[in-house]
Amino acid sequence: MTAISSDSDRDARLAALLAALSEQARAGGTPDVAAAAAANPDLADELRELWAVAQFADLARGANTASTLPFRPVAGGDALAPLPREFGDFELLSELGRGGMGVVYKARQKSLNRIVALKMVRDALLASDADRARFQAEAKCVAMLQHPNIVTIHEVGTAEGQAYFCMEYVEGPSLAERLAKDGPMPPRDAARLVVAITRAVQHAHEQGVLHRDLKPSNILLNSEFGIRNSEWKTKGEDSDLNSVFRIPNSEFQPKVGDFGLAKRIDGSESLTRTGAIVGTPSYMAPEQATGRKDLTPAADVYSLGAILYELLTGRPPFRAATAVDTLLLVLEQEAIPPRDLIPTIDRDIDLICRKCLQKPPNLRYESAAALADDLDSYLKGEAISSRPSGLGYFVSRLMRETHHAEVLEHWGVLWMWHSLMIFLLCLATQAMAWSGVEWHLYYLMTWGFGLAAWGTILWKLRRRAGPVLFVERQIAHAWAAGVFASMAMFVIEVVAELPVLKLSPAIAVAAGMVLFFKAGILSGQFYIYAALNFAVAVLMAAFPRAAHLMFGVASAVSFFVPGLKYYRQRKRGGGGANS
């Protein structure tokens, strides 16, 4: 118990420090992380790491950032305002928890003599306009959602100059607390629980709202089943709404709460700044972890899959020693299949979970409703849609973008310039051949100095755009191998006393091999460009008079087309709209 209280106090202190640093940044100042760390030496390392998470979008995408914190329960009330105390029509009884922006109290509404949950902005006197706008937007989002598995909002108002909204008080623990106490759930029980949560999330999506912070601590388990169900009585006892709400063999009913990071799907309204990473790393979709503004319901589907994963295994799909390391795992690694951790987990629910956690959004369920339907099929013993089969599935998997494809957005413009450079180099080589130049050294110097100089410039330009990821270094090594292979062709011609440019078709083969390697790591579309270069190698052998011109065109196409695609994709994903 002492250890839990200590962790709670530590989290509350971290939350307060990060909130103060964020306020400094919002006010236009420079957050003094060093001073905060020096004043709190026991929190120094974690404070720096969490602040780094808030700045991660700047590093990954060159965008603005905003720090976000998970909702953290606290042990006691605010020392500056002892509880219980009066607040308008409410008597604040105890503090339930607080996050980076808001604080939630258990309260008694005096006029109706009922227990409610009351949320207001933390440190109201210091709250910025952005804080107040985000708070009001959350209230607006929740107020428009009427579903038995979403925390109900009773009213929105202002008292003593401070905005608040009044919600139903959920008596039971959070799903995170239940997991910490009891560990993983049986697969069928986990499926029933996630179906109810997923139907609630689908309702939010239908109203145009993305949650963006779904996690076990934001799922409340209502122990007052009979009372709450009577509030949501529909036309008939067998109504779909009632059947969704009831979970057989369960004493708890899930309630989705904390819409503090929600946004409109159409992008017309947002609660955070462009490029800000929002959410909780262990449950955050890869596209959300890079601060993209064009999130879709697929981001919430990923988070639902992460919740299901933890219900099945007792741990989230990704968790490292630090938040930064966890974000990197989300971006770089595949989750360990649940069945690899617990072999008794049913194969079908394992497949459902893994489909939710696919890195590319288009490989996940197309909607939360589709996920709920598959879970229902699993519970009924019927075939699930996520079971892979057929040639079409194989081809789609082969041609898909991998989760590493995000890095290509950094290379869009650079690859378009590279396509021009390689075409000009091939054109110069072809002109030398047509002019009768037969000295191998001229060609070796042209290609060696040309590619080495351009490669150095290209790499320096890329480094200026932000940190270079490990996968980019792998691709750079593959490209360098192709360059060395090209140089080796000229040397082999000299050693073997072959005519100049006799081995030129092998350069196209080397280029195709590099593109084949890229296809496996980045995107299946590079298989097409690899095949193009292999085909051109044959044509170069058949028509040597125009060999380098053909290779130049094929290479230019292989870099310009994907470069243009990812340049446009970055423009769409990193524009000036709010996220």
Residue listed under structure tokens 């990060």: 18
Can you read off the two tokens belonging to residue 132? 């107040």
Give me the amino acid identity at 5. S
Burial grade of 422 (CB within 10 A; 0-12, 13-18, 19 or more): buried
CA distance 475 to 460: 15
Burial grade of 576 (CB within 10 A; 0-12, 13-18, 19 or more): exposed
Give phi and psi for 47, each to the nearest 5.
-65, -45
Instruction: Decide: helix, strand or coil at residue 481.
Output: helix
CA distance 272 to 279: 11
Kindly write down the DSSP assignment for every residue of 483-527, as one continuous string: HHHHHHHHHHHHHTTPPTTTTHHHHHHHHHHHHHHHHHHTBTHHH
- Residue 387 half-sphere exposure toward CB, CA atoms < 13 A: 10
Determine whether 78 is an active site residue: no
Can you read off the two tokens belonging to residue 276? 């800000």
Residues 6+ apart with CB under 8 A from 577: 267, 270, 274, 293
Catalytic residue among 7, 189, 213, 300: 213
Residues assigned a catalytic role:
213
